[in-house]
């Protein structure tokens, strides 16, 4: 028995005495965060927005086991929002689709959610009409059964079975009416309920999780009354992935009292704001670096690699990695690197020959 099979579905209930104190803390912190951000300069806010949206989109896909190229995601977002960045790269269709969906959700958060809008998001996620090797129904509701299964073949475990396909049009009509017109619930509580409700209906052949998280961000933008994103719920869900799936499964197999689900959602949201400071530290470091080197002559390859290093380059930087990433010859890579060493931007680390590693020299903070 799943909650969508209960007589009272979808009339969710929760214990306000347990939920409201935590909601108050979350709303207070949201307000404090937005106030702090609004006190910063335009360039820093713009950079923080770009970093947060990039994190949100890449981590939302990573929850589903799909690893998007962060440089492509960042470049696609920047282009669509008119943000000038160094080292922009072309993005493939899959990246463009998920960026298009997320920006539509967060930048146009006040607009009604409709069937056609959801179909557009779904079609953008699957531009080839396939999920991996499998052809799926895109831009429309699923027409077959839907189960969430894990385990090896022959030892599968069914975690959840969604409503029958014939129920979806009616289920989605009720969901959309509530999403657009319900005024009784705080938008943050509404985000928690919408997340659970939509993923329980599971109306599409694939992509339900990513669309669920886009809807969550849309309602959180309504809660903030701002399209500016400075915290990532998807990144926090990924950090708490096991607890997320365990609670989702137990809630979907429970009754219509969703107090535990809402409480977890609020805690997850609160913790997501803990990591905003990490995002801002990176933004401040990058801003300080470029302020210090605003008159330094650099070519496109050098700017691209410096941006990667400022964003937290994985592993050690070598001339061979430089050449591979920038698609340049070994001689060109070494010339680029030596030029940056001469300008005090890179420094050699321990080692020599082919094993020479290079590190970014970051400007010191002003006292």
Distance CA 166, CA 147 (A): 15
What DSSP string describes 74-141? HHHHHHHHT---TT-----HHHHHHHHHHHHHHHTTTSPP-HHHHHHHHHHH-TTSEETTEE---SS-
Q: Are residues 92 and 239 in the same domain?
A: yes
pLDDT of residue 57: 96
Distance CA 262, CA 274 (A): 19
Q: Are residues 90 and 30 in the same domain?
A: yes
Q: Are residues 78 and 15 in the same domain?
A: yes
257 in a structural domain: yes
285 in a structural domain: no
> Could you give the dihedral angle defined by the CA atoms of residues 255, 256, 259 and 260, in that order, rounded to the nearest 10 degrees?
40
Distance CA 270, CA 280 (A): 17
Q: Are residues 348 and 217 in the same domain?
A: no
For residues 64 and 126, the answer to whether their CB atoms sit within 8 Å is no
pLDDT of residue 253: 94
152 in a structural domain: yes
pLDDT of residue 291: 82
Distance CA 296, CA 353 (A): 28
For residues 282 and 51, the answer to whether their CB atoms sit within 8 Å is yes
pLDDT of residue 365: 65
293 in a structural domain: no
pTM value is: 0.81
367 in a structural domain: no
pLDDT of residue 157: 81
Q: Are residues 60 and 195 in the same domain?
A: yes
96 in a structural domain: yes
Q: In this structure, what token pair is assigned to residue 208?
A: 């339900």
pLDDT of residue 314: 61
- End position of a domain, from candidates 221, 249, 278: 278
DSSP 40: S
Q: Which domain holds residue 355?
A: 299-360
366 in a structural domain: no
- Number of domains forming the structure of the chain: 2
Q: What is the CATH number of the domain that holds 197?
A: 1.10.3290.10
Q: Are residues 213 and 122 in the same domain?
A: yes
151 in a structural domain: yes
**The Cα angle at residue 45 between residues 287 and 75, in degrees rounded to 5:** 75
Mean pLDDT by 10 residues, the chain (367 residues): 95 97 95 85 85 94 92 94 86 94 97 97 93 91 88 79 96 98 94 98 96 97 92 95 95 96 97 82 76 88 86 77 90 94 88 74 71
pLDDT of residue 158: 82
Alpha-helical (H) ranges within the chain are 16-38, 42-63, 70-81, 93-107, 115-125, 168-181, 187-201, 208-224, 233-239, 241-252, 259-272, 276-292, 300-310, 319-326, 330-342
pLDDT of residue 201: 97
3-state secondary structure of 9: coil
């Amino acid at each position: 028995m799943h909650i969508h099979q209960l007589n009272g579905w979808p009339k969710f209930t929760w214990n306000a005495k347990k939920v409201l104190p935590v909601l108050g803390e979350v709303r207070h912190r949201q307000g404090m965060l937005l106030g702090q951000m609004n006190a910063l300069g335009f360039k820093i806010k713009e950079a923080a927005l770009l970093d947060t949206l990039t994190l949100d989109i890449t981590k939302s896909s990573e929850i589903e086991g799909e690893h998007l190229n962060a440089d492509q995601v960042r470049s696609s977002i920047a282009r669509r929002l008119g943000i000038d960045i160094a080292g922009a790269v072309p993005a493939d269709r899959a990246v463009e689709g998920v960026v298009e969906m997320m920006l539509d959700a967060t930048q146009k958060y006040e607009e009604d959610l409709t069937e056609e809008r959801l179909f557009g998001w779904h079609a953008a996620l699957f531009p080839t009409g396939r999920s991996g090797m499998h052809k799926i129904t895109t831009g429309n509701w699923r027409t077959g059964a839907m189960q969430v299964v894990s385990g090896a073949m022959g030892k599968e475990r069914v975690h959840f079975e969604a409503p029958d396909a014939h129920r979806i049009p009616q289920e989605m009509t009720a969901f959309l009416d509530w999403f657009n017109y319900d005024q009784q619930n705080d938008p943050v509580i509404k985000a928690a309920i919408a997340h659970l409700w939509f993923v329980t209906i599971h109306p599409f052949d694939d992509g339900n999780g990513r669309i669920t998280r886009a809807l969550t961000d849309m309602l959180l933008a309504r809660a903030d009354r701002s399209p500016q994103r400075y915290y990532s719920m998807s990144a926090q869900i990924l950090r708490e992935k096991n607890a997320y799936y365990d609670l989702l499964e137990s809630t979907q197999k429970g009754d219509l009292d969703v107090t535990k689900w809402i409480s977890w959602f609020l805690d997850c949201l609160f913790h997501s704001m803990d990591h905003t400071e990490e995002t801002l530290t990176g933004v401040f470091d990058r801003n300080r670096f470029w302020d210090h080197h605003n008159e330094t002559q650099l070519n496109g390859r050098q700017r691209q690699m410096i941006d990667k290093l400022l964003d937290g380059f994985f592993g050690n930087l070598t001339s061979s990695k430089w050449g591979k990433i920038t698609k340049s010859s070994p001689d060109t890579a070494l010339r680029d690197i030596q030029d940056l060493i001469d300008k005090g931007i890179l420094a050699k680390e321990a080692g020599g020959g082919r094993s020479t590693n290079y590190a970014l020299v970051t400007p010191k903070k002003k006292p």
